[in-house]
Amino acid sequence: MAARHFINDGTTLVQDALQGLALTHPSLIYDPENKSIINSRHDGNAKVTLISGGGAGHEPSFAGLVGDGLLSAAVSGSVFASPSVHQIQNTIASAGGSAGTLLIIMNYTGDVLHFHLAAEKARLAGHEMAVLVVGDDVSVGRRKSGKVGRRGLAGTVLVEKILGAVAQQEDATLKKVYQLGEEVVANLATVGAALDHVHLVGKPATDLTVRTDQVEVGMGIHNEPGCYVLKPQPHINVLVDQMLDQLLDQEDEDRAYVRFNDAEELVLMVNNLGGISNLEFSAMTKVVVGRLGKRSLHPRRVYAGAYMTSLDGKGFSITLLKASKAMIQALDAPASTPGWTAHQHLETSPVARKLFAVEEQAERLDPGSSRLKVDNISLSAAISRACHKIVAAEEEIDRFDSLVGDGDCGSTLARTARAILGELEKGGCVHPDGDVVGTVEAIAKVVEDNMDGTSGALYAIFLNAVGASLRNGAVGLQKERLVGAADWSEACVAGLDTLQRATPARVGDRTLMDALEPFIRALQAGESTDTALIAAQAGRDRTQGMRASLGRAVYVPEQGWSEVPDPGAAGLVVLLKGLLLA
């Protein structure tokens, strides 16, 4: 990861973060002396106390999981370093009570030694104590992990959630909670992967923080190297399949810790190590669920989010839990903590079912063919040519947009062009009987489905209006005829009029209208398509140096306006050239 942070002094970073957590969640108490967070509503004499902790850098674990229905308290060390025995012991004294205290920790040497010693000291002070060590990693394997056992990873969060719910039950005892915890741990398996290593605040960067075109499989949560490297970086499907092999392959004696094919219930957690965008992470979750489905495994519950991070690690982990119905009920139980996203298992609502029915009905509606026809061979060639030109210009238009917008105008246009090409290959877009209205409407539908943002709205409005104008013009025709230049001109004028009712953008505003309106006005005046194209190009060129009055370009430095033309206008000219110039 990049070695850049807004806070570059790590001296008080952990303390400040814990205090910030308490400031935004009034039910949480921050103990600065012991770097711990305690649930103010927990009564250790009435309910079993659950305390977790370890090094910082894994947020929301562990402090962010303190709250009703989950942890009673959490104690933090420095980044990736265990808290001291003194901190842990004092937190037990503050949060614990006569109902007993369970320490839930991950299997790392420092944590194991410090928490066990603190538990012994607490016993001497009169506390009933138990320590549950979570090890769920499968990537290291039995041979390499030896006596140390499996590392603790994101599966720890599922253990804490289940035990947190059970600890709220009236008949819960320390022994019962501990025994259930052992059962959950025995049925957990996790594997992680990351693109690179993380940079610690206030520390010099190392060559491990910048790695390109590779993935490390078996990454832990403390910046330790993975078990093996995949280079070049494989497709996400290939990566996920390899990770699932480690979790599920019963022939792998080194890693087959849990047999999932006879699971009563299956729980999946896809965990973000901290540096993957929500957009990409949701897509990755979909891939994981899909690849499990290929193996006839269908999770009853799916949790996805940043539960156990490694600072801003560009990586993720997959956890599977072979669950019982009682575990599912515990996972579904309410919890009020900053870091646990409640999961509700809901049936599809009547409203949703009604929406699906409306969508299906809309897809079946067909107003019928018009009598305006077009030469399908010529039109298909023109559309294909235009799409290929857009794809070829993708990088250049994105470069323009990176200076005056969000950098994706070319990608947006090219994605739609590829979708249209795909439909053409399948025999779509171009109406089979040469109906020009059906063709325009089919292309408009592809645009609506694939072109995002303002560009998508503008193109879709224009194309639908063009289609409506052509359909209206065909009303009353007694026989079929080929669409002519006058029909196209009239339809384009109607499209422009409709577009201008929907947007305030006009010539001079540095938008695609600077190219579109001159093109259409030239056609309206009876000029040739060559002359109209020259007018569009001139309009595009005038946008370079033009002050923006609409869109994101308004907010960029004025220098950007002078360096490139408007990306939307540039993309439109590429499209028109492809359509008109054979």
- What CATH number is associated with residue 65? 3.40.50.10440
Specify whether 364 is located in the same domain as 278: no
* Residue 213 counted as domain residue: yes
Q: What is the DSSP string of 432-461?
A: TT-BHHHHHHHHHHHHHHH--HHHHHHHHH
pTM, 2 dp: 0.72
Look up residue 356 and give its two tokens.
């699906």
The residue range of the domain holding 534 is 358-580
Specify whether 368 is located in the same domain as 267: no
* Residue 128 counted as domain residue: yes
Specify whether 311 is located in the same domain as 384: no
**Among 332, 366, 385, which residue terminates a domain?**
332
Specify whether 382 is located in the same domain as 241: no
Q: What is the DSSP string of 371-390?
A: SEE--HHHHHHHHHHHHHHH
Specify whether 288 is located in the same domain as 406: no
**Residue 57 labelled as part of a binding site:** yes
Are 263 and 322 in contact by the 8 Å Cβ rule? The answer is: yes
How high is the pLDDT of residue 365? Answer: 42
* Residue 2 counted as domain residue: no
Q: pLDDT digit string (tens) for 417-434?
A: 999 999 999 988 888 888
Identify the segments of the chain with pLDDT beneath 70: 1-3, 202-211, 342-369, 552-556
Q: pLDDT digit string (tens) for 461-515?
A: 999 999 989 989 888 888 889 999 999 999 999 999 999 988 888 999 999 999 9
How high is the pLDDT of residue 267? Answer: 96
Specify whether 195 is located in the same domain as 57: yes
Instruction: List the one residue out of 406, 421, 389, 386 whose CA is nearest residue 455.
Output: 406
Q: Are strands 265-272 and 188-194 parallel, antiparallel or unpaired?
A: unpaired
Q: How many helices (H) and strands (E) does the chain have?
A: 20, 14
* Residue 338 counted as domain residue: no
Instruction: List the one residue out of 573, 353, 372 whose CA is nearest residue 467.
Output: 372
Specify whether 174 is located in the same domain as 307: yes
Instruction: List the one residue out of 351, 336, 308, 288 whose CA is nearest residue 134.
Output: 308
Instruction: List the one residue out of 52, 115, 54 whose CA is nearest residue 89.
Output: 115
**Among 292, 316, 332, which residue terminates a domain?**
332
* Residue 374 counted as domain residue: yes
Specify whether 92 is located in the same domain as 171: yes
Specify whether 321 is located in the same domain as 382: no
Look up residue 299 and give its two tokens.
């999770």
CATH number of 558's domain:
1.25.40.340
* Residue 521 counted as domain residue: yes
Separation CA 115–CA 52 (nearest Å): 9
**Among 317, 332, 347, which residue terminates a domain?**
332
Specify whether 327 is located in the same domain as 362: no
Q: Calculate the CA dihedral of residues 516, 553, 565, 535 and round it to 10 degrees.
A: 20
* Residue 337 counted as domain residue: no
Separation CA 335–CA 166 (nearest Å): 12
Domains: count for the chain? 2
Specify whether 297 is located in the same domain as 412: no
How high is the pLDDT of residue 343? Answer: 58
Specify whether 363 is located in the same domain as 322: no
How high is the pLDDT of residue 209? Answer: 46
Are 50 and 163 in contact by the 8 Å Cβ rule? The answer is: yes
**Residue 100 labelled as part of a binding site:** no
Q: Could you list the active site residues?
A: 222
Separation CA 154–CA 378 (nearest Å): 58
**Residue 342 labelled as part of a binding site:** no
How high is the pLDDT of residue 1? Answer: 44
* Residue 544 counted as domain residue: yes
